[in-house]
Amino acid sequence: MAALILLDLDGFQDINDTLGHEGGDEVLIEIARRLRDLVSDRVIVARLGGDEFLLFLDDRTTKWRSWASRDNPRNRHARAGPIAVRGQQLHLGASLGIALYPRDGSDTSDIVPARGYLL
């Protein structure tokens, strides 16, 4: 069993519109850093493009059920902290989706996006 977690930042276009693309890039870099800090080196974290990130958690390397839980204190800490960009404190939300392999697809091409950048 493995889990793919898709994270999509809520309202990210507003950040680009008000702080410019450079401000948006600062937010994306900080989100990527926080995601990498949350997981072990054996978990794959990728930016798919725009404001979407993907995490691949394999039960052999991590217990994804625990990681994905809302009650996980590490996740609450990561969500709670504002991001300081250009003199403003931003509080971002995110939408999450989880696909389980092999339950949600018998072939990885069914559930893995074709594009992405490893972080």
Active-site residues, by number, are 51
CB 9 within 8 A of CB 51: yes
Distance CA 52, CA 72 (A): 22
| Rounded alpha-carbon distances, angstroms, from residue 40 to 32, 36, 37, 88, 107 | 14, 8, 8, 30, 25
Please report the beta strands in 1-119, taking only residues with DSSP state E, as ranges in sequence order: 2-9, 44-49, 52-58, 83-85, 88-90, 94-101, 117-118
Instruction: Find out whether 95 and 10 touch, Cβ atoms under 8 Å.
Output: yes
